């Protein structure tokens, strides 16, 4: 069952209707619009669940059947700052965990990819013709042969994909790091279709490789790696470059060090990474991220006369950062860096990069998101995005571009009634396709998950279908039909997942007196039951809902249609943030089925570094 062949298909009963206000005069009506849209979405999906083929069936034991899933974003900024002109759009262009963006252009077509670490399928690919309106067209790595992730932690797996186009053979390349396996690339003539199996590059060390195709027919791989000699301090890394024979599909040694540590080694810069080379007006520019992937993140630029160097840093670096600004300013954007440049068909330059939108400088539950900005040029010919106290804008304009109705940014509502035979592209599993864990055909109109021993605290593939959180304030809901087995401690419901050690699980299970709905906090120290309630659902049908207020979550259930009961309120959202955990992903929310959810997960080590 392929995840990538489904081209943005939305089932007949799903809804993708509400975007942040985009016309003048709607601001006063926006909150009412949100409420009405939520009601309509629930009604439509409830109507789907009552259609023929979705009622009066006998559920299998140890299997949970999910009737629908809805998600509605409600962030304050979009509500308070409606777009007033058709050429305006919001930053981030890909909200939620879409980190390490890379972009390329061929003619009228732009393609953008981001990291996925240990989620499957890997490396979502988006297409645009104007840099404003983006549409996901699939995943680059959508087959197990491309994506060996067994045994890797959620924060491992695929790091920093880089996409480029080789005009000499009319082929697209995506090069990346599988952190436990090494560096590799895949290629295709048609980015809307399938990509090749991996071509591994044992000659390329380190992480974050990218390919530069020069106009003379030669190509080069540039990447993060260890410096010459022993590291001088923690986080001391280097940038290396070597020629790439794209005809023979191998890197040519040696890999020469062209940046040692960063712009100024005396300041002990850390984690120089994410490099890209560009040829602009006859000069070669080397752009890198510097400062680590946290609050000190930045982007820096070098220039030279040859792809192999030497490269001289600009005296006004960094060219992008927000690290020196007040972290408690209104609507802060932080951690900015890991950028990639693209020249438009009109001739101007833009940059995509990652950044995050923390609440109170701590609640970065959404992870690192994909932003975009126009590039400016200094009098001495260096590109930059910010200088001094420049802020990353949350509203931008692009001349002569009209914003579409189905954009990827702002507040929106989506829904899935599971009437298709394939999962939509927004859904993710862990480490493998997991098709042996779920079915969309065993009962028409339902997603069935089998309760299994494999847990989201381990390193296998649990019965978990999840999607990114894309808003600080949101509401998501599902309806589940579940007849659990008490002796096997079956449980199923909604899972909020940051990593193996930071999770909230709103679960239904069977107790001696009947069914129970509970909220479990899963941590490195074990599993804590935060709340529970005995329930008596008709036909084993339960509705579940999570409402996020940004800093806290509320959890609801209903055993009668739309008669919501509060299970727990004010649950700490900071617990799932990167500030309180480990890893490079954002939080996901998913449909989950498991056996013995209260077992203490085995302790796992932490990787230090990036």
Segment 415-452, tens digit of pLDDT: 999 999 999 999 999 999 999 999 999 999 999 999 99
Q: Are residues 581 and 479 in the same domain?
A: yes
Q: What is the DSSP secondary structure assignment for residue 385, as one 8-state letter?
A: S
Angle at 274 between CA 472 and CA 466, to 5 degrees: 35
- For 578, phi and psi rounded to 5 degrees? -60, -30
Q: Are residues 57 and 128 in the same domain?
A: no
| Structural domain contains residue 332 | yes
CATH number of the domain that residue 575 is part of:
2.60.120.200
| Structural domain contains residue 607 | no
| Domain-terminating residue out of 370, 397, 424 | 397
> pTM score, two decimals?
0.91
| Structural domain contains residue 378 | yes
Dihedral of the alpha carbons of 502, 476, 63, 565, in degrees to the nearest 10: 100
In contact, 369 and 99? CB cutoff 8 Å = yes
How many Å apart are CA 76 and CA 484, to the nearest integer? 39
Residue showing tokens 């949101």: 474
How many Å apart are CA 243 and CA 111, to the nearest integer? 24
| Structural domain contains residue 87 | no
Q: Are residues 270 and 356 in the same domain?
A: yes
Q: Are residues 484 and 537 in the same domain?
A: yes
How many Å apart are CA 252 and CA 33, to the nearest integer? 59
Q: What is the DSSP secondary structure assignment for residue 361, as one 8-state letter?
A: T
CATH number of the domain that residue 138 is part of:
2.115.10.20
Closest to 74 in 3D by CA, of 578, 422, 550: 550
Q: Are residues 312 and 461 in the same domain?
A: no
Q: Are residues 226 and 295 in the same domain?
A: yes
Per-residue pLDDT tens for 519-563? 999 998 899 999 999 999 888 999 999 999 999 999 999 999 889
Better-scored residue on pLDDT, 285 or 34:
285
Q: Are residues 125 and 244 in the same domain?
A: yes
Burial 187-222 (b: 16+ CB within 10 A, else e): bbeebeebbbebeebeebbbbbbbbbbeeeeebbbb
**pLDDT for 137 beyond 60:** yes
Q: How many domains does the chain have?
A: 2
The catalytic site residues sit at 100, 273
Q: Are residues 168 and 300 in the same domain?
A: yes
> In the numeric block, which tokens belong to residue 408?
């990827």
Dihedral of the alpha carbons of 507, 510, 514, 519, in degrees to the nearest 10: -20
| Domain-terminating residue out of 364, 397, 430 | 397
Closest to 428 in 3D by CA, of 585, 533, 226: 585
What's the confidence (pLDDT) of residue 513?
79
In contact, 274 and 288? CB cutoff 8 Å = yes
DSSP 273-298: EEEEEEEETTEEEEEEEES-SSTT-E
Q: Are residues 39 and 121 in the same domain?
A: no
> In the numeric block, which tokens belong to residue 448?
């069935």
Angstrom distances, CA of residue 399 to CA of 112, 132, 287, 351: 21, 11, 27, 16
CA atoms within 13 A on the CB side of 55: 8
Q: What is the DSSP secondary structure assignment for residue 79, as one 8-state letter?
A: H
What's the confidence (pLDDT) of residue 29?
41
In which domain, by residue range, is 62 found? 27-76+410-595
How many Å apart are CA 255 and CA 237, to the nearest integer? 14
What's the confidence (pLDDT) of residue 360?
84
Q: Are residues 208 and 147 in the same domain?
A: yes
In contact, 217 and 242? CB cutoff 8 Å = no
| Structural domain contains residue 225 | yes
How many Å apart are CA 420 and CA 447, to the nearest integer? 10
Closest to 112 in 3D by CA, of 135, 91, 95: 135
What's the confidence (pLDDT) of residue 319?
98
How many Å apart are CA 157 and CA 499, to the nearest integer? 13
CA atoms within 13 A on the CB side of 66: 31
Cis peptide before 310 (omega within 30 of 0): yes
- Provide the sign of the torsion angle of the four alpha carbons 458, 459, 465, 466, taken in this order: positive
User: What integer is the mean pLDDT of 42-55?
Assistant: 44
In contact, 4 and 138? CB cutoff 8 Å = yes
| Structural domain contains residue 173 | yes
**pLDDT for 35 beyond 90:** no
> Is 64 exposed, middle or buried, given 0-12, 13-18 or 19+ CB atoms closer than 10 A?
buried
| Structural domain contains residue 2 | no
What's the confidence (pLDDT) of residue 120?
98
In contact, 109 and 125? CB cutoff 8 Å = no
- Reported confidence tier of residue 383, pLDDT bands at 50, 70, 90: very high
What's the confidence (pLDDT) of residue 362?
76
What's the confidence (pLDDT) of residue 55?
56
Q: Are residues 40 and 158 in the same domain?
A: no
What's the confidence (pLDDT) of residue 58?
80
How many Å apart are CA 181 and CA 184, to the nearest integer? 9
**pLDDT for 394 beyond 60:** yes
Q: Are residues 52 and 163 in the same domain?
A: no
Average pLDDT, the chain: 90
List Cβ neighbours of 228 (8 Å cut-off, separation of 6 or more).
238, 257, 260
User: What integer is the mean pLDDT of 204-231?
Assistant: 98
**pLDDT for 402 beyond 70:** yes
What's the confidence (pLDDT) of residue 606?
38
| Structural domain contains residue 184 | yes
DSSP 303-316: EESSTT--EEE-TT
Better-scored residue on pLDDT, 587 or 599:
587
| Domain-terminating residue out of 397, 427, 461 | 397
What's the confidence (pLDDT) of residue 56?
66
List Cβ neighbours of 579 (8 Å cut-off, separation of 6 or more).
358, 362, 363, 364
């Amino acid at each position: 069952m392929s995840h990538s062949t489904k081209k943005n298909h939305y089932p007949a009963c799903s809804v993708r209707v509400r975007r942040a206000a985009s016309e003048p005069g709607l601001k006063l009506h926006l909150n009412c619009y949100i409420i009405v849209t939520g009601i309509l979405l629930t009604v439509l999906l409830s109507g789907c669940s009552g259609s023929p083929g979705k009622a009066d069936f006998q559920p299998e034991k140890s299997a949970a059947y999910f009737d629908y899933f809805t998600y509605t974003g409600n962030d304050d900024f979009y509500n308070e700052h409606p777009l007033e002109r058709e050429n305006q759009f919001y930053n981030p262009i890909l909200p939620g965990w879409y980190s390490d963006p890379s972009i390329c252009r061929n003619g009228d077509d732009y393609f953008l990819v981001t990291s996925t670490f240990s989620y499957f399928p890997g490396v979502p690919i988006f297409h645009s013709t104007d840099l404003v309106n983006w549409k996901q067209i699939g995943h680059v790595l959508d087959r197990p042969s491309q994506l060996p992730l067994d045994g890797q932690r959620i924060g491992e797996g695929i790091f920093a994909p880089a996409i480029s186009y080789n005009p000499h053979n009319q082929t697209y390349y995506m090069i990346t790091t599988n952190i436990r396996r090494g560096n590799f690339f895949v290629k295709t003539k048609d980015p809307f279709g399938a990509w090749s199996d991996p071509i591994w590059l044992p000659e390329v060390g380190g992480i974050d490789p990218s390919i530069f195709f020069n106009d003379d027919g030669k190509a080069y791989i540039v990447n993060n790696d260890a410096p010459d000699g022993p590291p001088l301090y923690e986080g001391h890394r280097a940038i290396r470059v070597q020629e790439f024979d794209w005809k023979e599909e191998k890197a040519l040694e040696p890999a020469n060090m062209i940046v040692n540590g960063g712009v100024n080694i005396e300041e002990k810069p850390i984690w120089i990474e994410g490099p890209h080379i560009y040829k602009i007006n006859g000069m070669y520019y080397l752009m890198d991220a510097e400062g680590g992937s946290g609050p000190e993140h930045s982007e820096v630029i070098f220039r030279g006369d040859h792809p192999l160097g030497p490269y001289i840093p600009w005296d006004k670096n960094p060219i992008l950062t927000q690290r020196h600004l007040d972290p408690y300013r209104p609507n802060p954007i932080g951690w900015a860096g890991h950028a990639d440049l693209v020249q438009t068909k009109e001739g101007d330059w833009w940059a995509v990069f990652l950044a995050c939108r923390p609440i109170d400088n701590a609640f970065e539950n959404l992870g690192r998101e994909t932003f975009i900005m126009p590039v400016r040029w200094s009098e001495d010919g260096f590109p930059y995005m910010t200088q001094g106290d420049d802020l990353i804008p949350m509203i931008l304009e692009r001349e002569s571009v009209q914003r579409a109705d189905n954009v990827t940014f702002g507040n929106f509502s989506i829904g899935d009634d599971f009437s298709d035979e394939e999962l939509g592209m927004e859904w993710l599993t862990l480490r493998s396709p997991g098709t042996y864990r779920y079915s969309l055909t065993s009962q028409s109109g339902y997603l069935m998950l089998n309760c299994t021993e494999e847990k989201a605290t381990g390193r296998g593939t649990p019965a978990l279908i999840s999607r990114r959180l894309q808003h600080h304030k949101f509401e998501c809901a599902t309806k589940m039909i579940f007849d659990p087995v008490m002796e096997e401690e079956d449980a199923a419901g909604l899972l909020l997942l940051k990593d193996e050690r930071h999770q909230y699980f709103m679960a239904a299970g069977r107790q001696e007196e009947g069914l129970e709905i509970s909220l479990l906090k899963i941590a490195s120290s074990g599993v804590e039951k935060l709340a529970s309630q005995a329930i008596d659902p008709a036909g084993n049908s339960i509705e579940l809902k999570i409402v996020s207020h940004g800093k806290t979550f509320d959890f609801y259930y209903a055993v009668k249609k739309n008669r919501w009961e509060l299970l727990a309120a004010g649950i700490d959202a900071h617990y799932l943030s990167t500030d309180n955990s480990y890893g490079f992903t954002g939080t996901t929310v998913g449909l989950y089925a498991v056996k013995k959810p209260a077992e203490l997960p085995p302790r796992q080590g932490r990787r230090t570094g990036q």
